[in-house]
Amino acid sequence: MAEIDVLVIGGGMAGSAAAKAARDYGVSVALADPGDLGGT
């Protein structure tokens, strides 16, 4: 099983931005959302 540093729940505008920001810091990120990413 992979080790994850940050888990973002929700792939809307804020969740996507949080995941991208964490990735920019070099940590491993998982994003969980049952629907499409990006919000409205």
Between CA 22 and CA 34 the distance in angstroms is: 21
Amino acid letter for position 30: A
Of 28, 26, 21, 35, residue with least CA distance to 11: 35
- Predicted pLDDT at 1: 76
- Predicted pLDDT at 10: 92
- Look up tokens 């540093």; give the residue: 5
| Domain boundaries along the sequence of the chain | 1-35
- Predicted pLDDT at 40: 65
Taking only the tens place, the pLDDT of each residue in 1-40 is 789 999 999 999 999 999 999 999 999 999 999 888 776 6
pTM (whole model) above 0.85: no
